[in-house]
Amino acid sequence: MAEVVRTVETEDPVRPLFSPTGELTPEARSRIGLDPEGLRDLYRKMVLIRRVDQEALNLQRQGELGLWGQYLGQEAIHVGTVAALESEDWIFPSYREFGMAMCRGIDPAEILKFFRGLSHGPYDSRKHHFAPLTIVVAAQIPHAVGFAMGSRLKHSRDVTLTTFGDGATSKGDWHEAMNVAGVFKAPVIFLCQNNHWAISVPLAKQTAGSIAERAQGYGFPGIRIDGNDVLGVFAAVRAAAERARRGDGPYLIEAMTYRMGAHTTSDDPTRYRLQAELESWSAKDPIGRYREWLQGRGILDEATRAAVEREAESTAEGMRTRLRSITPGPAGEAIFGRVYGNPPDSFVEEREEFESSLEGS
């Protein structure tokens, strides 16, 4: 029997950085490898994306967007993750990663076309190495694995990261992708944003087990960390990425956080969760905690802080203005334009008929 018993032998550079409960150790924090400018930039980005999140919510309420899903409370994961990766590393997001997209330099007004009902995929994924937002839960996870397998085949050093929610871990695609990644030692990082809720379903009804502990069942390591600590997220993703770059294969990071807002603007959380839970998590707010840490070290002065607030305001303002100024593209292009690379004649005719019928009306 012994010969067939297999356990995870690959070394784990992430685990030593964290306490058993998933807190970044003081030593690891002190050796984070970011200069004051870099440390401030993490703060700046968290403030910016939170302000934009709020602005998008306002826009939805004012009828400018069909839908909005806040990431309020999950900013540390969005910012820490992108900062830890190299710009060539592709990210395969779910639908709540607006903040990550911004950190990749995508114009927030452009992304909002998605929520304004103007486009299923408004930005250039190849330019930003950021795959389209994916509505079908977990469907992007095997894509990331295939992409990472491809990177290996091309002997490229880039790694791939895919992120998803706690609910996504219940889907068959999550499992099939994890297992295939393990078999092919694909350079891919699985980042679970465990925000405790899948719409109205709490974590305890989503799974009776531990998500992070599942990794060993696929032959690679996993860890549960504090997802509201931007430096912890940065350190974990950085270490997991370096490991994957070295060719040591996949890693699963379960970042514990909390969905402070509604699932989306169509949702009413008062029907299923208690205010108290929310309050206990406000105390762990990723921005507040990090601000205090920076201030405690004298890395963030009032002037800088005020400047960041001003920048956030103008970013939100700019987004609002640009969004309002967007004129929808022509219907023919929007409906037929990107379906085929080599459109069949019948399809071209259908488009022409459609377009002439519009001129007609």
The interface with ligand TPP within residues 236-275 (CB under 6 A) comprises 259, 263
Q: Does 136 bind ligand TPP (CB under 6 A)?
A: yes
- Whole-angstrom distance, CA of residue 215 vs CA of residue 190: 10
Three-class DSSP category at 21:
coil
Q: One of 51, 214, 259, 320 is an active-site residue; which one? A: 259
Query: Of 22 and 182, which has the nearer Cβ to other proteins?
Result: 182
HSE, side-chain direction, 13 A CA sphere, residue 186: 27
Q: One of 272, 297, 310, 324 is an active-site residue; which one? A: 272
CA distance readout (Å), 133 to 93, 94, 97, 165, 215: 6, 5, 8, 13, 25
* Residue 16, binding choice from a copy of itself, other proteins, ligand TPP, none, Cβ under 5 to 8 Å by partner class: none
**Long-range own/partner contacts, residues 310-314 (CB < 8 A, 24 or more apart):** 311/44, 311/48, 312/47, 312/48, 312/50, 312/51, 312/52, 313/51
Q: Does 43 bind a copy of itself (CB under 8 A)?
A: no
Q: Active site includes 351?
A: no
Write down the least CB distance from residue 276 to other proteins, Å: 16
How many residues form the binding site for ligand TPP (CB under 6 A)? 15
User: CB–CB of 44/83 below 8 Å?
Assistant: no
Write down the least CB distance from residue 78 to other proteins, Å: 20
Closest residue by Cα to residue 13 from 189, 175, 147, 186: 189
The number of residues making up the chain comes to: 361
Q: Which of residues 166-195 bind Mg ion (CB under 5 A)?
A: 166, 195
Q: Active site includes 263?
A: yes
The contacts of residue 356 (CB under 8 Å, 6+ apart) are none
Which part of the chain contacts a copy of itself (CB under 8 A), choosing from 66-74, 101-109, 220-228, 321-329? Answer: 220-228
Which part of the chain contacts Mg ion (CB under 5 A), choosing from 79-87, 162-170, 221-229, 279-287? Answer: 162-170
Q: Does 165 bind ligand TPP (CB under 6 A)?
A: yes
Query: Of 135 and 348, which has the nearer Cβ to ligand TPP?
Result: 135
Q: Which H or E element spans position 104?
A: none
Name the residues annotated as catalytic.
259, 263, 272
Which residues sit at the interface with ligand TPP, rule CB under 6 A? 96, 135-137, 164-168, 195, 197-199, 259, 263
Which residues sit at the interface with Mg ion, rule CB under 5 A? 165-166, 195, 197-198
